[in-house]
Amino acid sequence: MKKIAVFTSGGDSPGMNACIRAVVRTAIYHNIQVVGIMHGYDGMINDEFIPLDAKSVANIIHRGGTILKTARSQEFLTIEGRTKAAKNLTKHGIGGVIVIGGDGSFKGALQFSKECDIPFVGCPGTIDNDLIGTDFTIGYDTAINTVVEAVDKIRDTAESHNRLFFVEVMGRDAGLIALRSGIAVGAEAILIPETKTNVDELINKLESGRKNKSSKIILVAEGDDAGGAFAIAEKVKAALPYYDTRVSILGHVQRGGSPTAMERVNASRMGFAAVEALMEDKKNVMIGIVDKQIQLTPFENAVKHIQELNPHLMKMVDILSL
């Protein structure tokens, strides 16, 4: 292994830069050249390759986003696009590739690796924490801390006006952002895709709850089956008109910001391990951290999942919101 490439793909997440930094400096330590591919798979197709050295990744560990930029490539889904990408990797003498992204990025890498016989190793970069093979994905810890900070501020104004706030967070297929941040902010209810939302039960809970509470917060994942925060809030408002009801959509603010200390450490560990995996002739595997230990999971298994959430956490939400 004389030369490797690294790129970021799909949605950006805080901690990607820390992972890039670890990849570059670990490779250089082992006398391996590194190039960065700009704009994900699109950059691989369009020959957007740039050399990276230790100085290239100085002072980026604390920055959100990704210095290599990212994209979702439609052209890479075609055999013509992947053929162009393979020619560019060969032209640059790339012996292995590290991709930082989610399950779509890994599926693309798996298909591509089979066609061009270049080993790929993945690092899980997604704020949703919805990949099998790791306890935490790169970006998740920062995202939930961002939500907690925002909701704490929302609660300040909610208490000032005795308001009921529905706060919608990201999570189209998985509600792990809503679940952990909801516990952390003391939400009255957490509505997520993994469980069926019964609006009537929510209304009954709000109606029978303590009327003297100065504020109430409901966390809603965007993929909740009841239609999202605005739709649920309208139904609750119609049934309980005495509540001063408001809706706040946090949106893409959850993707940005300086990564937390835990994020930087985990991302650095994953980037470090990814280089070592390529050196050990591993291919088509995702680097994860399970029970604080590095674990390699085949791309076929490291897919987006709708996991069964810990029932004790859900029970705790109900009890602590009394």
CA distance 270 to 266: 6
Burial letters for 295-315: b for 16+ Cβ neighbours within 10 Å, e otherwise? ebbebeebbbeeeebeeeeee
Q: Is the pLDDT confidence value at 212 over 70?
A: no
Domain that holds residue 53: 3-139+259-298
Q: Is the pLDDT confidence value at 260 over 70?
A: yes
Q: Assess whether 263 and 122 both reside in one domain.
A: yes
Q: Assess whether 85 and 160 both reside in one domain.
A: no
Q: Is the pLDDT confidence value at 307 over 70?
A: no
60 and 15 Cβ atoms separated by less than 8 Å: no
Strand order in the sheet with 244-249: 189-191, 216-221, 163-169, 244-249
Q: What is the reported pLDDT for 139?
A: 97
CA distance 170 to 175: 8
Our count of domains for the chain comes to: 2
Domain membership of residue 303 (yes or no) is no
Residue 318 burial (CB count, 10 A)? 12
Q: Assess whether 231 and 148 both reside in one domain.
A: yes
Q: What is the reported pLDDT for 144?
A: 97
Q: Assess whether 16 and 117 both reside in one domain.
A: yes
Q: Of 201, 234, 255, which residue is a domain's last?
A: 255
248 and 218 Cβ atoms separated by less than 8 Å: no
Q: What is the reported pLDDT for 199?
A: 93
Q: Assess whether 103 and 228 both reside in one domain.
A: no
Q: Is the pLDDT confidence value at 237 over 80?
A: yes
Q: Assess whether 8 and 131 both reside in one domain.
A: yes
Residue 43: both structure tokens together: 């950059």
Q: What is the reported pLDDT for 206?
A: 87
Q: Assess whether 15 and 135 both reside in one domain.
A: yes
Q: What is the mean pLDDT of residues 142-160?
A: 93
Q: Is the pLDDT confidence value at 211 over 80?
A: no
Domain membership of residue 307 (yes or no) is no
Q: At 192, which CATH number?
A: 3.40.50.460
Q: What is the mean pLDDT of residues 300-321?
A: 77
Q: Assess whether 264 and 119 both reside in one domain.
A: yes
Q: What is the reported pLDDT for 265?
A: 98
Q: Assess whether 156 and 110 both reside in one domain.
A: no
End-to-end CA distance of the chain: 58
Q: What is the reported pLDDT for 213?
A: 65
- What is the pLDDT confidence band of residue 305, given thresholds at 50, 70 and 90? low
Kindly provide the residue ranges of all beta strands, DSSP E only, lying in the chain, ordered along the sequence. Answer: 3-8, 33-37, 49-52, 96-101, 120-124, 163-169, 189-191, 216-221, 244-249, 285-290, 293-298
| Phi-psi map region of 241: left, alpha, beta (phi>0 left; psi -120 to 50 alpha) | alpha
pTM of this structure: 0.93
Q: Assess whether 163 and 200 both reside in one domain.
A: yes
Domain membership of residue 11 (yes or no) is yes
What average pLDDT is seen over the chain? 93
Q: What is the mean pLDDT of residues 214-238?
A: 91
Q: Assess whether 151 and 129 both reside in one domain.
A: no
Provide CB contacts within 8 A for 129, sequence distance 6+: 136, 137, 140, 174, 176, 177
Of 59-73, 107-121, 211-225, minimum mean pLDDT range: 211-225
Q: What is the mean pLDDT of residues 26-42?
A: 98
Q: What is the reported pLDDT for 308?
A: 65
Selection from 163, 259, 140 nearest residue 215 by Cα: 163
* Active-site residue identified among 42, 103, 128, 130: 128
Q: Is the pLDDT confidence value at 125 over 80?
A: yes
Q: Assess whether 165 and 34 both reside in one domain.
A: no
173 counts as catalytic: no
State the DSSP code for 193: T
